[in-house]
Structure 1
Amino acid sequence: MKIDSGLLTDFIISIPFIVYFLHQIRSKSKYYIFKCFVISFLCFYTILLVKYAVFPIYISGSIKEMMREELSFSESLAENINLIPFVRGWYPKDFILNIIMTLPLGVLLPCLIKGMTRKSMTIVGLGVGIAIELVQFLIFLFQGFTFRDININDSLANAIGVIIGFAIYTFAVRIFIEETKSTQIKTLRMVRNFLIDQGQFTDG
């Protein structure tokens, strides 16, 4: 028996986003439409991230018994866990994929949280990367085996992905604000004001 991603797990993951979404609609804050739009994307992204990084979880069954017979707990621990960056468990392709995996977070979070800086986004990136590996480690303890590498290199790549995403966001928004300085299109002015109000940029 295994727990895999599906409608139920997607719904459970979506609950805090739905609550935030409904709160924004009810409060009708100044930029609630934009924040609802962003939170929808963030919800969808989080579901995909958890699906990729966490599931499936094996509770019982032939695969679980076979893996436990093939490798002892200590052997599996030694084979699948790496805490030394760029020395052991270094796979360039996986490193790049882990960077790409968290790029959207660097773009979406500054749209929801005011005043995000490079330092705060670095902390978020490291926190997300470590949290993913910690969840994978807890699942490993529960199962007694894992098909994943619990790797510090993945955490570093996730942090880099968030930072690069934030850099792309910053660059794109600066250009957008400059190019729409004199626009008379109402929607563009609203988006411009929303981005300025988030705190990373000034009007000028």
Structure 2
Amino acid sequence: MPSGPVVIADIHERRRALVDALEARGVSVEFRPLPVGDFVLSTRMAVERKRCDDLIASVMHKRLHKQLAALREQFERPILVVEGYYLYANRYLSPDFVRLQLAMLIVTGVSVVVTRDAEDTAGLLAALAKLEQQGLGHEPSLHARKPQAAMEEQARYVVESLPGIGPALARALLAHFGTPQRVMTATPAELMQVPGIGRARAQRIHRVLSARMAAPGALS
């Protein structure tokens, strides 16, 4: 059992400079194929690492936000580490455009950190892993999907399956009734108590939920 923190790294992150720097700090590195991100530091924290040229390529090919959205979906504390100080040197993208891309990530819940080089990145990862695992008790794990967020998302998808219900109304129904089960058992009058649910929509939902399905193989 390692005495120091453990960092789970994607199998493509085998750059010796970074790995050596992590191990020199007492960090054990385990290589696994990761579905999202480059490093998992705890059950709630994962890191996408990009050198400046990688970041610019991701922005130009419109991959950056998709990659970070996937990381944000799976982890409570997603982090983007941008490695290198030549972030604004690319002649094809203006500095303000690059800043806007990073600002968009920050306002959606992604922490953005710029490091000097692989040694600096290793120092940051080691400090985060130690704090998360030994300070706060969050173990590294590949089964790190946010349980509460996942449950809320599934509940919303269930309610969105009702006729005439989109994401906004699904959230309103869940806020009013508390659970998908309670939404499904509500009477038309109860449904109409939710702003945006009129009589016609409430009756349509009730008809769908009350419809009796024919037995398999029954003749029409």
TM-score when scaled to structure 2? 0.23
TM-score when scaled to structure 1? 0.24
Bigger relative CO (Cα 8 Å, ≥ 6 apart):
1
For the pair shown, which has the larger CA radius of gyration, 1 or 2?
A: 2
Name the structure where helix makes up a greater proportion of residues.
1
Name the structure where strand makes up a greater proportion of residues.
2
